[in-house]
Structure 1
């Protein structure tokens, strides 16, 4: 291996444009983008990145790649975040003029009940508002049955805000089976800095990533390693970062929600480093490097382990990308439900990302190549020294074997 010359300058904690982050988050949240219907939000993201002067392109399927050239052009690292959200799709036009829907992505009908929605027909000029209601939604008609009926997508329907009471009326509106029904975000920012909204997963993460790349570009700092922002469109249905990388991608940092719930360590006001999720542990060295960066620069960060959760890093590795992976999260309470996070946590996430992008690879020489000789394989861990058995251990083992004879 040929080692690159020169050492990168020490990273600095860049100022993050808090107004840009907040305004961008609100803009993203009000653009419907359930998995499978993401063109509008990707257009907006592309315009925001173009305004900062970042070069970008899109893959055939619509994944966006933005690139900030680094000192080293032979290798790159990717920050991956998704723009698609959970949602629903029309399963059936009902005889009462309402819509049966099925979930897009994994989420409970419990949190959909009462939600305002937007019905997206094939004609972009014909969209309709509506509400998700339980089949028994009127207490004046059903009495206590409104409290005893079960929870499930087969037990809710969408009431369309139009004078329609049958299938023919729905068809006349241009509504068809397979139309997307987006759950409205309805974002709010409280006086104490909390953000309450649907779809913070992962539009809050996307806003933080955009703010981090904006800070890097505006600083005039050339990163040691070419940095890419990969914005995916299918994470909620399991196939987000399946493509868009090349052989030079050495590190992948996925940005997604850090689950705030009983038994979890994640916080809304801090960066949350996922040590493991449902697909297994993230890279030992990269995760601890991110934690060290946070500690060195006083960015609040905590570790966590997630049982029923995976990010864009999983499909990337499953599709064969040879790269170290890590997961950085912004704390979300009631994920895929009535979500809440805090602006401080998003700012800290952007700060840590901007710091990370100013550093070289985890192992500067080794990680620049897809493979190498064993003698050069790096390790920062100390293997335990084998302990020779004592005479007592030997006698105990002899007694055990004698008893088995």
Structure 2
């Protein structure tokens, strides 16, 4: 197995750039363009699916049975549901996340005419000087929120005149911060950190001129947050599918905050035992900090593929993430560990069909 190393600076730079690109599910074109540019720079061939997902290929020695690595470019977000008479907007969530974490978010509304308008998501009763203790008794629901536009609007007609319509996309600011201690604090680390780790692994293989045993398809999906996942980008030649996503670092979980975590099971059921053990053995053999965990309320690209009936071994590897789908925090060491495992995995032999 060739010695390769993950470029931490490259990984951090890619992640920082991705976090500046709005990509809620349904509006991923700019993120797709960015990843395509990175693949071109590395000399990796790729194609776009009809829906706009990316299927890249790193050629291997043997043909016929391939392996695939998947990460998703789409993030949580919101959509304009109604334009209110007072000039505020009712919003509906994209993906599954609590309105508790939408309160106070700075956002951008993307209109059909290409115009963007800034704003803030607030509770309907937002002023303590007006509502006093009523602000504390509001329910935590999306129906209790509204979007205040940073524009001179006082009624519905004013908003419509801006070109804003029902169905316009609302992207949530990341407020990303890279700390000196190695932590990244930001919304949407799920799964932009996974994408950055995958690109860093690909770059390590390319710069190291590593020969792979079989073709590897690098998949960047665009609708994981709404449950669609990888099925629209898979093909029947894929024998092994490893998804990269976040693992929940929280009480009652066993996720490694600074290493890579192999998910043994999520709400879709257990992942492939033989492939999981292979990944764990690779961590041991290569000195990669790791753990294993079971997730209660979780789905991923690989779960969607398995449920769709694809005859492939499936596993999920994770970077450790605190406060998933909320005010997220993770450490660069965990992203690097994910990349290191991918590099080792893609150089290893394809597993046989025996159980």
TM-score (norm 1): 0.86
Within 1, Cα distance between the matches of 2:58 and 2:2?
Answer: 17
Within 2, Cα distance between the matches of 1:43 and 1:123?
Answer: 21
Corresponding residue number in structure 2 for 1:156: 145
Within 2, Cα distance between the matches of 1:279 and 1:319?
Answer: 11
Instruction: Using the TM superposition, give the Cα deviation of residue 248 of structure 1 relative to its aligned residue in structure 2, in angstroms.
Output: 1.4
- Any unmatched runs of 5+ in structure 1? 1-10, 367-377, 380-405
Instruction: Using the TM superposition, give the Cα deviation of residue 13 of structure 1 relative to its aligned residue in structure 2, in angstroms.
Output: 4.6
CA-to-aligned-CA distance 1:255-300 (integer Å, 9 cap, x gap): 1100111100112211011000000000000001000000111000
Corresponding residue number in structure 2 for 1:41: 31
Within 1, Cα distance between the matches of 2:95 and 2:66?
Answer: 31
Which of structure 1's runs of 4+ aligned residues deviate more than 6 A? none
Q: 1:346 aligns with which of 303, 325, 335?
A: 335
C-alpha contact 2:2 2:210 (8 A) present in aligned 1: no
Are 2:59 and 1:74 equivalent residues in the alignment?
no
CA RMSD after TM alignment = 0.9
Instruction: Using the TM superposition, give the Cα deviation of residue 190 of structure 1 relative to its aligned residue in structure 2, in angstroms.
Output: 1.0
Instruction: Using the TM superposition, give the Cα deviation of residue 247 of structure 1 relative to its aligned residue in structure 2, in angstroms.
Output: 2.0
CA-to-aligned-CA distance 1:28-61 (integer Å, 9 cap, x gap): 1111111111111111111111110000001101
Within 1, Cα distance between the matches of 2:253 and 2:111?
Answer: 40
Corresponding residue number in structure 2 for 1:53: 43
What is the 5 A alignment of 1:346-365?
A: 346-363=335-352
What is the 5 A alignment of 1:4-403?
A: 11-124=1-114, 126-363=115-352, 366=353, 378-379=354-355
Matched residue of 1:56: which SS?
strand
Matched residue of 1:53: which SS?
coil
More strand by share: 2
C-alpha contact 1:99 1:157 (8 A) present in aligned 2: yes
* Count of residue pairs the alignment pairs up: 355
Instruction: Using the TM superposition, give the Cα deviation of residue 186 of structure 1 relative to its aligned residue in structure 2, in angstroms.
Output: 1.2
TM-score (norm 2): 0.98
